[in-house]
Amino acid sequence: MTIRVVVLLSGRGSNFQAIAEAGLPIEIVAVISNRPQAAGLEYARSRGLKAVALDHTQHPDRVAFDALLADEIEGHEPDLVVLAGYMRILSPAFIARFEGRLLNIHPSLLPMFPGLRTHERALAEGVKIHGCTVHFVTADLDHGPIVIQAAVPVRADDTSDTLAARVLAQEHCIYPLAVRWFAEGRLEINGGRVNLKGDSTSQSVLSTGV
Ligand code: GRF
């Protein structure tokens, strides 16, 4: 059995690509971008997937735009909505409509470094371990129930670019895995925590990184 997935993105789309190429039991029924020029839309078209541009600059009211976006998504009848570098804050009404079937990837070990410029901030704080998190989206920005995390070492000579690249390689591993678990019905949210049903597969990845 496959599940229907809608992907939302704003840019490059490398996480979307990793998910699309992972051989998952999913059907990507639409890829939607708030930025018409997003490279991720091009990639979707190259795979023959439905690519939709909904330009937020044409809809200055966030709530109205999110309602339009939600209607577009619902039209594709998704079981799961995947945020893959969707760079806009979603309104509470939008989140309420998709709660429990809305996943995001964030480039830090949440709850550390919610928000933007996570790699720069990690370097500025001098943390020695950094990483990424896949979580369910709730109205609490970057704080929803955690599905899986991957950690990488921070090296003395790292720049935000080298650190971002090391983290991104892990994003491409854990996001497809999280989507697989969702598709297999193995994710159970209990008291704000995500339990993985079935076996003892770990919900953490410790990478020695390169
Ligand atoms: C990733 O770093 C992801 O963690 C963040 O936005 C970036 C998207 O990259 N949410 P891509 O568009 O998937 O290449």
Write the pLDDT tens digit of every residue in 37-92. 999 999 999 999 999 999 999 988 999 999 999 999 999 999 999 999 999 999 99
Asked if residues 110 and 143 have their Cβ atoms less than 8 Å apart, the reply is yes
**CA–CA gap between residue 197 and residue 84 (Å, rounded):** 24
For residues 76 and 182, give the distance between their C-alpha atoms in angstroms, rounded to a whole number: 18
Nearest residue CA, atom 7 of ligand 1?
A: 85
Q: Is the pLDDT of residue 210 over 80?
A: no
What's the gap in Å between 76 CA and the centre of ligand 1? 23
Residue of 106, 119, 135, 172 marked catalytic: 106
Q: Is the pLDDT of residue 200 over 80?
A: no
The string of pLDDT tens digits covering residues 178-188 is: 999 999 999 99
Tell me the CA–centroid distance for residue 9 and ligand 1, in Å. Answer: 8
Mutate to test the pocket of ligand 1, among 35, 37, 105 (most ligand atoms within 8 A of CB): 105
User: Does the Cβ of 84 fall within 6 Å of ligand 1?
Assistant: yes
CB of residue 85 inside a 6 A radius of ligand 1:
yes
Average pLDDT, the chain: 96
Beta strands per DSSP E along the chain: 3-9, 26-33, 51-53, 80-83, 102-106, 129-136, 146-153, 187-190, 193-196, 204-206
Does 175 have pLDDT greater than 80?
yes
User: Does residue 143 carry a catalytic annotation?
Assistant: no
pLDDT tens per residue across span 23-52: 999 999 999 999 999 999 999 999 999 999
pLDDT above 90: percentage of residues in the chain: 91
Q: Which of the residue ranges 45-49, 125-129, 179-183, 201-205 would you say has the lowest mean pLDDT?
A: 201-205
Least confident range of 20-34, 149-163, 190-204: 190-204
Looking at the whole model, is its pTM more than 0.85? Answer: yes
